[in-house]
Structure 1
Amino acid sequence: MWAHEGQIPPDTDWRIWLYMGGRGAGKTRAGAEWIRSQIWEHGKQRVALVGPTLSDVREVMIEGPSGLRNIGPAEERPIYSPSRRRLEWPNGAEGFVFSAEDPDSLRGPQFDAAWGDEIGAWHRGQTCWDMLMFGLRLGDNPRICATTTPRPTPLIRKLVKLDNIEITRASTLENAHNLAPSFLEAVQANYGGTRLGRQEIDGELIDDPKGALWLRSQIETNRTINAKHEFQRIVVAIDPPISKGVNADTCGIIAAGLRQDGKSVIIADASVQGLRPLDWAARASGLAAEYGNAEIVAEANQGGEMVRDVLEMAGCVSPVRLVHARLSKAARASPVAALYAQGKVMHGGSFPALEDQMCIFGSDAASGSPDRVDALVWAVTVLMLEKVNLRPRVRWV
């Protein structure tokens, strides 16, 4: 009656239900309630309970506040025998405890239902999962519920691509009424919008595809929440879309500043999709005005002088410099990505849409036009690479 949407098993003919949620999103309660329903409503008799360690199974899945011994009517609750590592329900059903540290312990036993908790933290995840699936062979429709905070482990990467799986997701905030307000305030203030926050609070599966020029670890290492520095120079870079209307490409608009110590800081992402040229020009002009009429750098490969004209029509009073791309996007982005790897570019805040685009750029997962990345590359190039002559060249020999 009070479960939120992510905690409710999908009403389809699934074999695997994967519930990925943020910290405190009610994953343990969802798994425990599902097991209880399997035993009392669907007649399951042999259940596998698998956690990262034996202690995790006992302290969280069984004895925890949302564990199997603390939910449902008192007369339906199981008894746990630690020496046998076994739960026994009043109707004769049994639950068998296993640790992901010992996959071989799953050889031999067989089950008609299973619950795997925090599978993203399983030390030998794939091996343990395989052994568990071989044992899930009793009854007409053996099923498994897997609950976890999403982490890009090989096991989770593989599971999300399966056909016979249903996936539900939930953020920490969806279970806010069961959590301390001070906890919510603290984690939002400290981690909101960061890679760790998106994983541990929002319940998102954040991954770095192979071949991407940027890594999230590099961005996180060089993130600063205090972007109020004295800058030698600030630029607003624009990657204008060549189309207009609701299906137009995004207009990339990025502001960056060069600090006294020679490092650059990305200070704003005002990129916008679907606006008319006059409207995105007004947005970029307004951002430049916020930073003392900072110089605007706009790519003019498609629009030429029209880009300058549109900015002037929008009331722009900042100096406008038009730049032309003579190399491919990847060739222009590579030196900028190298600066990130050297710790010379920082993000002065959290920019999820920009960072998502950066961390697939150059990989097979990339699709569409990388408008935000293009604008970022122009901003950093103008601030850092032009002076030291590090722009990529082609030399004829």
Structure 2
Amino acid sequence: ALRNRYANEVLSKRLEAQNVELSQARDRADQASRAKSQFFAAASHDLRQPLHAMGLFAAALSAKAREPDVANLVTSISSSVEALEGLFNELLDISKIDSGKVKPEIADVSVTVLFDRLRMDFEPEAFDRGLSFRMPSRSAWVRSDPVLLERILRNLISNAMRYTRTGGVLVSTRLRKGKLRFEVWDTGMGIAPDDQVRIFEEFVQLANAERDRRKGLGLGLSIVQRLAALLSHPVSLSSRLGRGTVFRIDVPMGRAPVVRVAATRVERSQADLGGRCILVIDDEASIVDGMSALLGSWGAEALIAGTAAEAMAQVTGRDAPPDLIIADYQLRDGEIGPEVVTAVRRHFGTEIPAILVTGSATPERLEEARDLGHHLLLKPVMPAKLRTLIQFKLKEAVKA
């Protein structure tokens, strides 16, 4: 009995020591994960600034390039900036998902609208690659987060395009056990059975031994798996080497909302920014230089300010308010863009349309922008997206 008691005490102490070690290891892992997320959150703004400026300068230069050789160089620069933006966003997406900052907002999503948007983006790419691309329309609704579901499908389609050299890509849907199954088929190289689990791991790229960063970082499928788990949408795949692959995702069915028919009117196009005055508020010299050059190439007059005082100095004495304000959210010395926008609006006594540019789109910041009637753009802002939003805001102002 004494021997058994001694053995039990030894075993108990050994288990206690192991539990302490496991607890310490878990704490170290949690601390490392928090440190990674904190690094990305802190570095996000500083890393986005130069990328944002590069995109603005490249677009401004493109408008002035006349010689074919120069135009080709500018196109290459723009492509590199877009590729860098994609890589950067992949890293931040992983960080946000792992830190629990991505919160699904479930709603009824129109498959028709979703497919129209995806088809518009991927048809030109498929044509450029010499691939067929089919995406039959489906009049159906599903219950999901529209942004996250679209991101999942975009990643799957991009992956299929990237690894398909001949043939094509098919995106289809079918009803299965009360859910709508999305399927992304390709005629690519296929995935060996031993690799069909590994491809969902971070930084795994089966056909990129040369580490060509134009093919991404190997995070696309990892993001798909994380987002699908977050939404409780099961993901599966089937593949045959040399024949191709199909990825499947099952999404609950939704209901079409009641549509109220409203009167519409045709308005003149706002594509031409000639004669428009736009107040740009940003304390980064490279950003304001690039934004000024870009807006000038679109025919607009740019008023530049880095602080609230400079913004007021720019507009004081003007008979008419600027047509639009583009403001960085975080300025120097504790000033923030929304406060400067409010001051300029108060000066003219009118709700001037405004766009806020930020390096960190936190839920609180999004809510603040929505309450103030601003649109929020996340750096780096691609010029085409900026111009589209400018046109939209100007049209809104006409309607008001």
TM-score w.r.t. structure 1 length?
A: 0.24
Between Structure 1 and Structure 2, the one with more helix by share is 2
